[in-house]
Amino acid sequence: MAGWSCLVTGAGGFLGQRIVHLLAEEKELQEIRALDKVFRPKLREEFSKLQSKVKLTLLEGDILDEQFVRRACQGAAAVIHTASVIDVLNAIPREVVMNVNLKGTQILLEACAQASVPIFIYTSTIEVAGPNSYRDIIQNAREEEHLETTWSATYPYSKKLAERAVLAANGWALKNGGTLYTCALRPTYIYGEGSPFLYGYIHQALKNNGILSQNSKFSIANPVYVGNVAWAHILALRALQDPEKAPNIQGQFYYISDDTPHQSYDHLNYHLSKEWGFCLDSRMSLPIWLTYWLGFLLEIVSFLLSPFYRYQPPFNRHLVTLRNSVFTFSYKKAQQDLGYEPLFSWEKAKQKTTEWVGTLVEQHKQGLKTKTH
């Protein structure tokens, strides 16, 4: 594989940029092609520092632009496809999410076949497995259980179909007579510095005197640190390049978690921010069944208003289920096939994320000072 190049889509995102940083350490890798719709100036600056280790080419463009995608794949030896639209509130038009998540993936697979790219790694999500009901208890689930979401909500549905397309493309004939080999990684809920979800919770709490809202107290999840998810992608790439390991991995999907303690999403937010004086809202909350049916009512209101007005409900049944389920996964199969072991311990992950939360608190204070002067 001497002098090979790797294309990373969604390279400017929360996970994508971590993958780029780890790829820069790979031996024999000549070029990283980082593809995204737009790169923020700060990230451009950060990526430019990697140029001393590896050639880094920034490609700004749309994953739905077939010509652009085909050019991006030309001469690449592997594709890591992390680009997607994440939408748990159904706030983004369905067509937009389906286009990026499903059609974009199909365009990329076709481009790989045309450009004879032999390796394709897809970033999926545990949402393709569920949870389908907050009443179900799923603990330490494994790949052979073949769990599947029954939700028609756009995000899990689009990711389920895209993952299916990726795994079905395993074994495709490439233009140069070679074969395409694919696999998919299903991370659990990803946290870490730069997490858009955690940013939202902290931002909301800062406006509410440091009180973190509790809307997931009944959940048991096994969150995973972003650095460990990025590491799993590197190991999947190495494994697909290894003639001995590759046959076991081709066409497979893997759950990716780590040793972060199983806990509710509320407690995770609290553990990552308590050092800065944040606390959980101690007020009583509605029973789940009531919140669930309220979500259903709000969906009906939204549907009835849709011909005249786009009403965006604050939550829906899918979100209530996501936030309040017992839904945890084992990473044993990734351990066996990919040689995956978390790169970051819970303590290290917690420390790095807590430090980042501290920078958000500092920014907030600075903002308040500016307003008062």
Q: Decide if 155 is catalytic.
A: yes
- Report how far apart, in Å, the C-alpha atoms of 122 and of each of 30, 81, 153, 237, 265 are: 22, 5, 20, 11, 25
Active-site residue identified among 122, 134, 155, 270: 155
- Which tokens hold the place of 335? 């351990």
User: Treating both helix axes as pointing N-terminal to C-terminal, what angle do 226-241 and 346-372 enclose, rounded to 10 degrees?
Assistant: 130
* Residues identified as active-site: 155
